[in-house]
Chains A and B, each alone.
Chain A
Amino acid sequence: MSETIPTPGTPLAADAAASVDGGLVHGLYRDGDKIADTAAPAGPIDKKWTTRKFEAHLVNPANRRKLSVIIVGTGLAGGAAAATLGEAGYHVKSFCYQDSPRRAHSIAAQGGINAAKNYKEDGDSTHRLFYDTVKGGDYRSRETNVYRLAEVSANIIDQCVAQGVPFAREYGGLLDNRSFGGVQVSRTFYARGQTGQQLLIGAYQALERQVAAGTVTSYTRHEMLELVVVDGRARGIIARDMVTGEIQTHLADVVVLATGGYGNVFFLSTNAMGSNVTAGWRAHRKGAYFGNPCYTQIHPTCIPVSGDHQSKLTLMSESLRNDGRIWVPKRREDCEKDPRDIPEEDRDYYLERIYPSFGNLVPRDIASRQAKNVCDEGRGVGPKVGDFRRGVYLDFTDALKRMSAEAVGEKYGNLLDMYHRITGDNPYEVPMRIYPAVHYTMGGLWVDYDLQSNVPGLFVTGEANFSDHGANRLGASALMQGLADGYFVLPNTIRDYLSHAPYPAVSEDHPAVVEARDAVQRRVDTLLSINGERTVDSFHKELGHIMWEYCGMERSEEGLRKGIDLIRSLRAEFWRNVRVLGAADTLNQSLEKAGRVADFLELGELMCIDALHRRESCGGHFRAESQTEDGEALRHDDGYLYVAAWEFGGSPDGGDTGIPILHKEDLVYQAIELKQRSYK
């Protein structure tokens, strides 16, 4: 189909652009019913949460022990929820794929956690945090949920301090905080560069305390491979014991997924090796809508790829942009030179040049895209990866002159040391090299105000849901969301669902349970029997390459169509030609990976379809066909002011992914006015 490039200021309406043929939009999906109700209570925005908590039914303490809750995931979102529901007296089963709940990937968060405490008296408030989060998300998040997030943020800090989380403190003994990610107030609480670790250890210890109390049973090295849905309700999961290979059935009154993000669909990301989409994707196949799958956050300050062997990318806190200056050579010929030999006048400090007022502190999405642009122009630095050098300098020379090496070391020492250890280069002597990397996924399973998916009894929290971050997440707000969901939101909303329990008893012989268990067994058997030529990792790398190339920082219709074709043929080859060795009844890491990659191969296609249908540039994603005259992102509120919630179109257990169905949830802003972002 032909492409119309919108002229600035005259946005292109969505429907005018979509070609519908035989009921298929763009030849790829069907339109479904709109989502009319998000279950938020009526009333002014600052009263809704109080109303909801009051209206949620209570469960008699004596009955709680008889009610069972499955929580998959032990990160901030899952760990906090399991501990809290255990304390309340419910019978909780907690699952993670690592050998201990303490190792969930929340542990890796460095920078900090936001909370509207206004300890600095600098004008912060619930409303300002709410406003910053909605604006940062480029007006693609649901107002009611974000307001609540800001509202409970202050309680999180109190709770964590009571648990013994060692936040940074001032000499007077009170908590320190800093400004982070381009906001104008100091609201980010931190524990050196290990904030995620300290918050997670707090939740983990609370969880282990409940294990000792007998309210929580912990299933480590267990991987959820299927959701059990009985009579339209989520009633349990099928999990594989990763040590013995046993396929187990776990049934309960309610199921919570807190399984983290799916950035590993790109193979290289800052996520942990095991981070995956399997739990969410299996639920999607059983009917749960997937919200905004294409919304990915690409973080500008990561250590660049050094070669083909690379297994993951390492983030360096963006606080480095406070004092480091970003540049590339003006001329391609200089790219191989020692940066110290390139004189000032031959350097292009491109962020300072293009965005004079924000300079190196522009938001993540803009910093990332401009780094890609200068590298695409052939002005990248460092080793060649494929045809291009993928790196830009982050230079501390000026800061070292201005502040002394000791002062720089005090502020950034651990980051600079980490860089030195990984690359072998000393940043006190040579400028560092950085490049953007996939870091966070704003998309995830669709949930309502109660964090319940469209499948009754299936709740989704933390990064795994489509989240409060719209099309772009502000720094230090994912930790806030995980703990808000886990400690304060879910325990209140799930109570209402459980007040109608117990739900009719389900036996392990129920046809829906047997079907789910058999499906898992069949998949394991199939993966082990293909015995083809290619390793699981080789498929994963190829998928990652396709996603990065066609569904990464900049997307176009043509590229996305190509990506979809490539993914489809790669998926077909996977099921014909993958080689998974070893047995089903032992620890088998290839088998685990194969199952995850199989699901990524389906998710990747949906991400491309979602990206293709959203013909606007917004937040973390830039659509080539939708830009202003000077190349900045152009959002189209007239056509795309909605959440795209995708329904699975294939048969739930069959191999095919079918034709996805799009349900739109219109975004209504009553407390905030819509604006185009500008950082010039």
Chain B
Amino acid sequence: MNLTLNIWRQDGPEAPGRMVTYQLADVSGDMSFLEMLDVLNESLITKGEEPIAFDSDCREGICGMCGLMISGNAHGPVTTTTCQLHMREFHDGDSITIEPWRADAFPMIKDLVVDRSSFDRIIQAGGFISANTGSAPEAHSVPVEKRKADRAFEAAACIGCGACVAACPNASAMLFMGAKVTHLGELPQGQPERYARVVKMVAQHDHEGFGGCTNTGACADACPKEIPLDVINTLNRDLRGALGRGR
């Protein structure tokens, strides 16, 4: 198939950005979206133009490194990561717009690459269980109810890609944060720090410049790992619980 690609180009954090149009011929439906960009980049280099910078690593939908706004949809038209999106979802003659994640808390680096280190800082604030190496009890000493274990697992599937933020009209990271709070809060091991965790993470979230949640649900629609919206309820419940406890 032949495609028209409108791609955001920006030389650096301070440089002005612009949309540039490229024509790409003979795209196969078996290509992944990023392989399609690889092919475009090879042709740009051959012509002496600088290739388009974009992030990816595992290309298996699990590391969370990739992420593009594709014609207005975070990770494109189907529920998956950008690297697992395949060109058979598109048609001959399509025109596709490709932009980076846009959010104040994700500063621009170059072209389609942004800085998501604010996510790491939210985890630093409290997204962990304090268990020094060597201090762990025998694994079977604490059984976990299967229902809770399953819910923890479902929330732990978050890959930290940032699509939820990019899709949210307020650029809020509540789904990302709710996923972590739910994962750790469902488990017995996570109880001692449960309330302190949520307070510290939310404070860091706000400090990083992520927006507030207005329950649009756009985040869960965009999430490639189908993190359910109710993790945000869990987060809010724990936050109220913490404030009630005067933390």
Contacts and interface: CB of A to CB of B under 8 A. Distances in A.
A173 B146 contact: yes
Contacts of B38: 309, 311, 537
B86 A162 contact: no
Contacts of A102: 63-64, 120, 160
B88 interface: yes
Interface stretch (A251-259, A367-375, A584-592): A584-592
A579 interface: yes
Interface in A266-297: 272-274
Contacts of B57: 98, 103, 105, 272-274
Nearest to A383: B30
B85 to A, nearest CB: 9
Given A212-B124, A309-B28, A175 B139 contact: yes
A243 B142 CA distance: 45
A105 B187 contact: no
Interface stretch (A59-67, A421-429, A434-442, A630-638): A421-429
Contacts, number: 208
Contacts of A84: 132-133
B139 A158 contact: yes
B153 interface: yes
Interface in A372-420: 418
Interface in B32-78: 32, 34-36, 38-39, 42, 45-46, 48-51, 53, 55-65
Nearest to B139: A161
B108 to A, nearest CB: 11
A491 B134 CA distance: 11
Interface in A80-131: 80, 83-84, 87, 98-103, 105, 107-108, 117, 119
A306 interface: yes
Interface residues of B, number: 77
A491 B130 CA distance: 18
A312 interface: yes
Nearest to B56: A273
Given A166-B153, A487-B133, A589-B53, A205 B28 contact: no
Nearest to A115: B139
A170 interface: yes
Contact of B35 (A196, A310, A314): A310
Contacts of B48: 581
A535 B131 CA distance: 48
A169 B133 CA distance: 23
Contacts of B58: 103, 105, 107-108, 272-273
A601 to B, nearest CB: 19
B109 A535 contact: no
Contacts of B143: 169, 172-174
Interface in A584-626: 586-587, 589-590
A472 interface: no
Contacts of B120: 100-102, 208, 211, 218, 220
A65 to B, nearest CB: 17
B133 A421 contact: no
B29 A161 contact: no
B84 interface: yes
B198 to A, nearest CB: 15
A480 interface: no
B50 A582 contact: yes
B139 A581 contact: no
Contact of A164 (B35, B53, B63, B129): B129
Given A103-B64, A171-B146, A589 B124 contact: no
A521 interface: no
Given A201-B156, A272-B59, A422 B84 contact: yes
Contacts of A587: 53, 109-110, 113
B29 A164 contact: no
Contacts of B31: 307, 309
A165 B96 CA distance: 40
B195 interface: no
Nearest to B189: A164
A164 B184 contact: yes
A169 B146 contact: yes
B19 interface: no
A550 B11 CA distance: 42
B62 A162 contact: no
A163 B133 CA distance: 9
Interface in B1-32: 11-12, 28-32
Contact of B29 (A105, A197, A209, A424): A424
A194 interface: yes
A274 B88 CA distance: 26
A381 to B, nearest CB: 16
Interface in B75-129: 80, 84, 86, 88, 109-110, 113, 115-117, 119-120, 123-125, 127-129
B157 interface: yes
A107 B125 CA distance: 22
B169 interface: no
A311 B84 CA distance: 12
B203 interface: no
A422 B146 contact: no
B156 A311 contact: no
B137 interface: yes
B156 A99 contact: no
A589 to B, nearest CB: 6
A206 interface: yes
Contacts of A206: 128, 131, 133
Contact of B80 (A161, A168, A421): A421
Interface string A179-192: 00000000000011
Top 9 closest pairs, chain A to chain B, by CB: A173-B143, A162-B136, A205-B128, A162-B131, A166-B153, A158-B136, A212-B124, A306-B30, A84-B133
14 contacts: A84-B132, A100-B160, A105-B58, A161-B189, A162-B189, A163-B131, A164-B152, A191-B153, A274-B57, A418-B61, A422-B32, A422-B84, A581-B50, A586-B11
